[in-house]
Structure 1
């Protein structure tokens, strides 16, 4: 009899402890969601050198097109945005105005962006559980040529004094920008990896363009509204060798409209 009572009591205690632990975990997760949505960012990351709030190695989020589709089955507001192919077989993607993006409560509408890809590139589902959190707005991939991603991060992570119509020049110089977010994208220090660094102007908006190696990645950065836009194109060694020209053209086609 004593043994039975003791066993029942222990099970009750363990069950109650599990409930308490679950509540604590959910509470911590909720606080984490609030921080990612911008709550308290001034206290956490007031300076540019803090970098983007991304999981290390955004490039590593691609574990294979099929695997990614299975692991990231939940998708917020995925709406096709690809045009029909032009005479050269290239298609233009424009972020649909109706796309929710899964960026959480408190986000203002995202200014649309566009880019071009050859025939055969398709959108890869992204969820809030994706590496990089809620700031990964879009992924595209072609199993033979490479992959791309779009990161949309609030400039509030860098400074509270930039206002609501930010230009990339206000965020910092090309050197400052790549040193700030480069390690967050490739998962390691960018020192000695930046092969080229250029500036371009389109319709009055400045874009910073970088090529890094290794890993093989092309990055285009700009700012609009109250956000920093980061467009990355990456590939493995063989894809890079065979399709570098197309990958470069994809990277240079990015525009915020």
Structure 2
């Protein structure tokens, strides 16, 4: 590495017969300074001291700049999936340790679990559903069709795939922050499934895609819409506060043939705490 000549030395030359290289202790940079005679020593010391102080200040400014950049990245988010919505980042196991009498495990969304929903989201009410043995949580990607609105993915390679979408009702209606809405005020079953079909299935609904529709009021008073769609898709939806919660199940023909009954249990078990 070529030696760096002091800016102060250039501006304030010292009549010295030769120059020597040294390492600045604060930065580790190799510098060049005059080797002065006794008559020039005081001026030479002043130059070296000023150079050292200037480089130290520059190093501190660099460090401060990196620190500010790091904080900005955390607050603003390098990408949507990194924004912390709640108290705890990352995937947190929410599955019960023991199955129920029918052999199903209960998944409950942990309190404070983060999501990729962006800064400013209030805490998401917990939701739950039952799954047979062998289902596992998998990472959510911003490349998914649902984007940052996908809160959870579960999968069993032998049975199918599950996703939970948490979306603002502002997609359908103009409401205030933390407004309390129910699914009926959001729209009819047909309007809701048509509105979310592109991100759930990758395309708009075609005529005849909806095989059946069910409207149910659960034990907690929540209103739910449930659909079966071609080729082998099950969907359940509800709304609370200012969000719509949608659970979707997709399977291949082989998976559906063997596990349709279990997939229907998952769909029917979907619940969201009604605040």
TM-score if structure 1 supplies the norm length? 0.68
Equivalence for 1:151:
165
Aligned equivalents of 2:193 and 2:186: distance in 1?
11
Q: Which structure 2 residues correspond to residues 1-257 of structure 1 after superposition, within 5 A? A: 76-83=89-96, 84-161=98-175, 164-190=179-205, 191-202=207-218, 203-214=220-231, 216-257=232-273
Equivalence for 1:49:
none
**Partner secondary structure for residue 195 of structure 1:** strand
Contact residue 76 and residue 102 of structure 1 kept, 8 A: no
Deviation at 1:129, TM superposition (A): 4.3
Equivalence for 2:6:
none
Contact residue 209 and residue 219 of structure 1 kept, 8 A: yes
Where relative contact order (Cα < 8 A, 6+ residues apart) is larger, the structure is 1
Tell which deviates more after alignment, 201-210 or 130-139. 130-139
**Partner secondary structure for residue 177 of structure 1:** helix
Deviation at 1:77, TM superposition (A): 2.2
Aligned equivalents of 1:230 and 1:123: distance in 2?
17
Gaps of 5+ in 2: 1-75
Deviation at 1:133, TM superposition (A): 1.5
Deviation at 1:181, TM superposition (A): 1.6
Deviation at 1:185, TM superposition (A): 1.6
Aligned equivalents of 1:157 and 1:173: distance in 2?
14
Residues 120 and 153 (structure 1 numbering): CA distance in 2 closer, same or farther, change over 3 Å? same
Larger helix share, 1 or 2: 1
TM-score if structure 2 supplies the norm length? 0.64
**Partner secondary structure for residue 185 of structure 2:** helix
Contact residue 145 and residue 202 of structure 2 kept, 8 A: no
Contact residue 76 and residue 127 of structure 1 kept, 8 A: no
Deviation at 1:188, TM superposition (A): 2.4
Gaps of 5+ in 1: 1-29, 38-74
